[in-house]
A = this chain, B = another copy of it.
Amino acid sequence: MIRVGVNGYGTIGKRVADAVAAQPDMELVGVTKTSPDYGAEAALRHGYDLYAAIDDRAAAFEDAGLGVAGTLRDLLDAVDVIVDCAPAGIGERNRATYEAHDTPAIYQGGEDAAIADDSFNARASGEIGDVDSLRVVSCNTTGLSRLLAPLDEAYGVEKARVTLVRRGGDPSETDRGPINDVVPDPKTVPSHHGPDVNTILPDVDVDTAALKAPVTGMHTHSVNVTLERKPTTAEVRELLRAETRLFLIPEGAGIDGAGALKDYAADVGRPRSDLWENCVWEESISVEGRDLYLFQNVHQEADVVPENVDAIRELVTDTSRAESLARTNEALGVGLGSLLSDDGTARDQVAADD
């Protein structure tokens, strides 16, 4: 059993904790919080041991009636690997602590690539050597890497150009904007997202331009990929449909935005209405000459969650990449099919469930 700790039980951390707890080969030793709020209460409700992220705050938890099992240092001593889910930039401050405890660490994509020995995406990363730390790339980079890897393998990517219409904040972040604008962010083009994709796919030529919109549900990508070969639209749809971490939104489903996508996730029983897969609008997939176009949505709270699970195995076991992907998908139920899609995957599944 791999003993795992999660430092920071927030938007990503609570999801990673649940995903780790669902793996047969992992044990969630505990999670940390900086303050005794509803998130800390949630950890206890889930039966997870709670640790104070900051040494001198342990008393505040006890005062609020929430028992803690210790502090971050105690957690680090008890685990094989720590998953840092602190807010962007705090991971860099935590690094020295992890290194002082000789604890292998996984960081999130909000940190600079230099924080870890390598960056990671389960589908698209090449072979990773003997490293002490990994950085799971951001939700947007994860979404782009999953899409570009199969396209590059099948047809060759000559050049990818992507406009990222990003959500302004998460649903609970009442202090984020914009509230009535679409803002270039960053204003410089290309944005940093393209180079971040190159930490995973170094040979894929990709430029990105990023905006922020007044929505909280998901990011939306408008994708153009000039391919080296010239597949048909149908061939690309089949190629993408075969990827377990891509979901092709069926044409007839009546799903017209992030709201309906989340509704669909709840309908299929997903915890927190989470969408771990890229959601690609099937009707949008279109090939004109060698130019492929499509829209995809990425759930910023969720798509990196299975990647973190695979990063844990990559870092501290010799499990193969394919084996880890399969185990993670199986344990979580990653891989959305629809009754209404052409391949009938979900139709068969419903029949089997009956």
Contacts and interface: CB of A to CB of B under 8 A. Distances in A.
Nearest to A44: B350
A45 B263 CA distance: 14
Contacts of A272: 266, 273
A237 to B, nearest CB: 18
A166 interface: no
Contacts of A253: 37-38, 41
Contacts of A254: 35, 37-39
Contact of A41 (B217, B259, B346): B346
A301 B216 CA distance: 19
Interface residues of A, number: 49
B37 A339 contact: no
A182 interface: no
B44 A259 contact: no
Interface stretch (A76-84, A85-93, A172-180, A320-328): A172-180
A65 B347 contact: yes
A42 B267 contact: yes
A257 B172 contact: yes
A48 to B, nearest CB: 11
A259 B65 contact: no
A47 interface: yes
Contacts of A174: 256-257, 259-260
A31 B172 CA distance: 34
Nearest to A180: B180
A57 to B, nearest CB: 14
B171 A339 contact: no
Interface in A161-192: 170-174, 180
B41 A340 contact: yes
A64 interface: yes
Given A45-B350, A45-B353, 6 more contacts: A14-B267, A41-B338, A47-B354, A65-B340, A172-B262, A173-B259
6 contacts: A37-B253, A38-B340, A45-B267, A45-B339, A45-B346, A266-B271
Interface of A: 14, 35-39, 41-42, 44-45, 47, 64-66, 170-174, 180, 216-217, 252-257, 259-260, 262-264, 266-269, 271-273, 338-340, 344, 346-347, 350, 353-354
